[in-house]
Structures are given as structure tokens and as C-alpha cells.
Amino acid sequence: MDLYCAIDLRGGGAVRLLKGDYAEETSYGDPLALAESFIAAGTDWLHLVDLDAARDGGRLNRRVITEIASLSPVPLETGGGVRTDSDVDELLEAGVQRVIIGTAALEDPSFVQRAAARHPGHVAVGLDYRRLEGDHLEVAVRGWLEGSGTELEEALRKFEGFGVDAFIVTAIDRDGTLEGPDLDGYARCLAATTVPVIASGGVSGAEDLRELSRFVSPRGATLAGCVVGKALVEGRVSVPEAVAACR
């Protein structure tokens, strides 16, 4: 299982939100410096999310993303506000290894299919979900501000044959809480798809990562990676410790 060190971008800075709430923001300073620290410490990947673009399509953070991508010796994936073919092209040309399509995937599945065909191995679908009454897992869109009306397993099955490189699946109710990952949600993901799944949300430390690295669904599928943000920037676990736990 690979470690994906997360940097969420808002207003040109590095931040973390609590459960996707834009009113519950903590600042972590210069995103370039944070990226350099993760790289120096040995992360497998960088995971950048443009929160402004996810919410309203703004391009304020695009410069930061392209600067980090051009300098990073480790692979970088990014999502948030990826809406058009030119968005995908621009990010990949800047040095991004994997572009994550979220809201636009639900609104126009053909966009995902087209992007994956044009850039095989470089396109992922981001599926961020909330647990609703009746144990339904609903995918959220537009910076997690709106429900899509689509259930997580339904979305996974829909994009299964589109040729995407991975699904990045975030448990919104766990994100930024340090309360541990949603193992039940990931079990349901792995039962619904054969595409690699990267987990995100709730990791509090090395033990959570060890548990995820050993996690196997009833049909034998395993998680390909885990995104970690708050636990790293708040010192709950170091990057070397997290990498070792993921192994």
C-alpha cells in the first residue's frame, strides 16, 4: 500500500477542513514548503486538492499545483475543479502524474471515458461519500457541498470499464477528524470494483495505516494506497513511520 501525503489548497495556502466544512479551516502555511518536507521525508506520492476550484471552478491555486508538479521528484496526483479536456491536458503537461475527476465524472461520465482513453494510466475518479440514513453511501459533489443522488457502489460499477487508473474514495464524515478510517465503506468499495482503490479520511496514526495495509475484502481485494493529511501535519505520525506502516 502506498502513502499519499495530502495537501489541500485554498487561497494559495495549505489548509485542512473538518468534514469538508469550509467554515472549519485550519491553515498550515506554504504548500510548497509542505510538499518539500513530505518529499524529503520519503513519501510515495503527493496528493493535492484544489478546494477553491472544487467549489466554484476558480483557478487561483493552479499556479501552486503546477509549481509543485514541476519540482517534485515523486509522482503527484491532483483533483478539484477538473471540468474540461483542457484542464486534464494542462495538468498532465505541467508534470502531474494522475488527474482526479470528481464532480464532472458524475455530471458527464463520457468526459471520464474520453480522458482515460486519451491519457491511459493518468486519470482517476474521485468519489467522496457521506453515510446517510439506512446505511446508504451517497457520493457528494461540488466541494462536498451537494449530494449527487448516486450511491457509492453504483458509481464504482458505472466507471469500472472506463479504463481509469484508480478510484480515490474519501469518507467525508471521517475527513479531518482523526477518528479512524471507515473500514466498512472500503469493504463495500472493494466488493464493487476491480479497479485499484485509494482510501482517504480519518487516519489518526500508524496503527490505522497498518490496519488498512492488512485489509482484505471478502473477495480478496486489497487497498492500493491511503491518503494522509492531518495526522502528518499535526505530528501524530511521521512520513517515515507512515511509509513503514503502509508496507
Residue 128 catalytic? yes
Q: What does pLDDT average to in each consecutive run of 10 residues of the chain (247 residues)?
A: 96 84 83 97 97 84 94 95 95 97 95 97 97 92 82 96 96 93 94 95 97 87 95 96 97
Across 222-240, b (16+ Cβ under 10 Å) vs e yields: ebbbbbbbbbbbeebbebe
What are the CA-CA distances from residue 89 to residues 16, 98, 219 (Å)?
27, 11, 36
Residue 123: which domain range?
A: 2-246
pLDDT of residue 23: 77
Determine the pLDDT at residue 25.
76
Helices (H), the chain: 31-41, 51-56, 62-71, 85-93, 103-107, 109-118, 152-159, 183-192, 206-213, 230-233, 239-246
- Residue 98: what residue type? R
Strands (E), 105-182: 123-132, 136-141, 146-151, 166-171
Number of domains within the chain: 1
At 8, which CATH number?
3.20.20.70
Distance CA 25, CA 29 (A): 12
How many CA within 13 A on the CB side of residue 8?
Answer: 27
- Up-side HSE of residue 117: CA atoms within 13 Å toward CB? 9
* From 2, 87, 128, 175, the catalytic residue: 128
- Cell 495495509 belongs to which residue? 213
pLDDT of 218: 77
Task: Check residue 222 and report its DSSP letter.
Answer: B
**3-class SS at 169?**
strand
pLDDT at site 198: 97
Mark whether 85 is an active-site residue.
no
pTM of the entire predicted model = 0.94
